Amino acid sequence: MAGTGIVIGLLLGIAGKLLYTKTDDRVSRVREHLPGSNCGGCGYSGCDGMAAAIVKGDAEPGGCMQCDKEERAAICEILGKEDLSASERKVAVVRCSGTCDKTKFVYDYYGLNECHRVALVPGRGSKSCAYACTGLGSCVRTCPTGAMTVVNGRAQVDQKRCVGCGACLRVCPNDIIELIPVTAKYVVACKSQEKGKAVREMCQAGCIGCGICQKMCPSGAITLTNNIAHIDQSLCTRCGVCASKCPAKVIRVQNITETVQTAEEKKENATNE
């Protein structure tokens, strides 16, 4: 038995030497500068996968939206890169204004408290608008940072807590949640593809597809497809013409308080220095 143990030990030692794979210590060093929330917003299974992809060159050093400027700079230093190509932070927004006081209900729903379940019943839920937020809160339970809540029958996002991971998008059966840059100011808070008359019968705060916003936008940032307007945030100049001209008042201002405060704080700090 002792001889057998010695032989097995020698074989394992030899196998370990022959099958040894050299690991890049930069992976663990990069991993230390990632948040560790494993939200999946980067498109990888978690922070370990993201770190490996960054070192391999398959992902950008600034690909994690949760990393601040200092963390991204540290990652670039580890990789020996000078250029910091970080993407602008994005946050989720719910493109629906159908709260309980603004939309009509056609029946009472009694069943599993899951959005994808109610989407299978007639009308995709108890609200008369089949494109509306079901209000059952699957996005709330999925959000890893607690940024989602349901108020008055409609989901809403605390953009200060949102990390742009996209988890809420993946569980929303009506596809009404969208990721936009945190600096974006205006969004069309509706996804209904019904025509104007039908929209007015269903909801007091829906896009009627009139196209006025598209015609009045000076930068051509708004398009109208399937009776619903959409803003291309990369073209939007935040002039506010669309919001002021919208007869349904469905183009609303986003919560950019955090961004504005940060800019003001930086300005104040620079003045003090």
Average pLDDT, the chain: 84
Residue 200 has pLDDT above 60, yes or no: yes
Residue 247 has pLDDT above 60, yes or no: yes
What is the topology classification, in CATH, of domain 90-260? Answer: Alpha-Beta Plaits (3.30.70)
Domain boundaries, the chain: 25-87, 90-260
Share of the chain above pLDDT 70, in %: 89
Instruction: Kindly state the greatest CA–CA separation across the chain.
Output: 89
In the prediction, which pLDDT does 263 show?
Answer: 42
Domain 25-87 and domain 90-260, same fold? Reply is: no
In the prediction, which pLDDT does 207 show?
Answer: 94
CATH class of 25-87: mainly alpha
pTM of the shown model: 0.70
pLDDT-wise least confident of 90-94, 249-253, 261-265, 267-271? 261-265
Phi-psi region of 88 (alpha: psi -120 to 50; beta: other; left: phi over 0): beta
Rounded to an integer, the average pLDDT of 34-41 is 78
In the prediction, which pLDDT does 268 show?
Answer: 46
Q: 120-138, pLDDT tens digit by residue?
A: 888 888 899 999 999 999 9
In the prediction, which pLDDT does 19 show?
Answer: 67
- 206 pLDDT band, cuts 50/70/90, is very high
Q: How far is CA 220 from the centre of its chain?
A: 24
Q: 19-29, pLDDT tens digit by residue?
A: 665 667 888 88
Q: 47-84, pLDDT tens digit by residue?
A: 888 888 888 888 878 778 777 778 888 888 888 876 55
- 256 pLDDT band, cuts 50/70/90, is very low
In the prediction, which pLDDT does 61 show?
Answer: 81
In the prediction, which pLDDT does 22 show?
Answer: 62
In the prediction, which pLDDT does 221 show?
Answer: 95
Q: 135-192, pLDDT tens digit by residue?
A: 999 999 999 889 999 999 999 999 888 888 888 998 999 999 999 988 899 999 999 9
- 272 pLDDT band, cuts 50/70/90, is very low
Query: Exposed, middle or buried, 142 (CB in 10 Å: 0-12/13-18/19+)?
Result: middle
Separation between Cα atoms, residue 12 and residue 32, nearest integer Å: 32
